[in-house]
Amino acid sequence: MTDNKAVTAAVPRHVAIIMDGNNRWARKRFLPGVAGHKAGVDAVRAVIEVCAREGVEVLTLFAFSSENWARPQEEVGALMELFLFALHREVRKLRDNNIRLNIIGDRSRFDPVLQRAMADAEALTANCSGLQLLIAANYGGQWDITQAARSLARDAVAGVIDAEAISAEEVGARLCTGDFPMPDLCIRTGGERRISNFLLWQLAYAELYFSDLFWPDFKHDAMRAALADFACRQRRFGKTSEQVAAES
């Protein structure tokens, strides 16, 4: 896991996105909620294209939270079908564009057919060296921190590590994103101003960008605008502006 350093922002290495507003987009058009999720697939393609072109290394998309199981069963079932369909249809395009897919979260609750499709999709893109695409599915930030703590506790009990020597870096390494740099930029669409249990540990020093656009409308220009906004920010990581300027 790469440490963050105080720098003037340019292109973020890692962008994380909370894709919000699919249902509201559909309601405005008097369509069922799943229509918004289907329309959102085009926005996913758009942000992947922009991130790959602009040199972003990692893109994490919050596709399905651990709390989303509480939604109406019909919507959850439709989302699972859409997820399976998208995996089958899109994974070869990812491979052909040198994009590696990683799915993070607790897969145990998914249907075995979907679990196999996830594993197959990851295997198909395993040798890709371009943009790293992380899809957070049945993911929650509290769950992620908890599973990291359990992993460390097991090793401490077994005598593999010294509990007193556990550092923040070691906790971060046990998170689902432990092999990737911390997010530099977190985008949320749909007009809401919260992070909704997404990458709670990882977003400690991320720049936050909120868009009023519903996710299906967040396309190429909107993504470029978010990156341009990030490029204007000064990232201090606890230091003063003068210190950062002197280090530049």
Whether residue 124 is contained in a domain is answered as yes
User: What would the pLDDT profile of 88-122 be if each residue is shown by its tens digit?
Assistant: 999 999 999 999 999 999 999 999 999 999 999 99
Whether residue 240 is contained in a domain is answered as yes
User: What would the pLDDT profile of 189-239 be if each residue is shown by its tens digit?
Assistant: 999 999 999 999 999 999 999 999 999 999 999 999 999 999 999 887 776
CATH number at residue 27: 3.40.1180.10
Res 237: pLDDT: 73
Whether residue 225 is contained in a domain is answered as yes
What is the DSSP secondary structure assignment for residue 4, as one 8-state letter?
P
User: What would the pLDDT profile of 160-202 be if each residue is shown by its tens digit?
Assistant: 999 999 999 999 999 999 999 999 999 999 999 999 999 999 9
How many other β-carbons are positioned within 10 Å of the β-carbon of residue 157?
Answer: 10
Q: In terms of residue numbers, what domain contains 140?
A: 14-190+202-247
Mean pLDDT of the chain: 93
| Distances in whole angstroms, Cα of residue 197 to Cα of each of 12, 116, 129, 141, 160 | 22, 26, 29, 5, 31
The model's pTM: 0.92
What domain count does the chain have?
1
Tell me which residues are annotated as active site: 20, 68
- What integer is the mean pLDDT of 59-66? 96
Helix axes 73-96 and 33-54, enclosed angle (nearest 10): 30
Whether residue 158 is contained in a domain is answered as yes
- What integer is the mean pLDDT of 136-151? 98
Whether residue 147 is contained in a domain is answered as yes
Whether residue 125 is contained in a domain is answered as yes
Whether residue 236 is contained in a domain is answered as yes
Whether residue 22 is contained in a domain is answered as yes
Q: Are 120 and 155 in contact (CB under 8 A)?
A: no
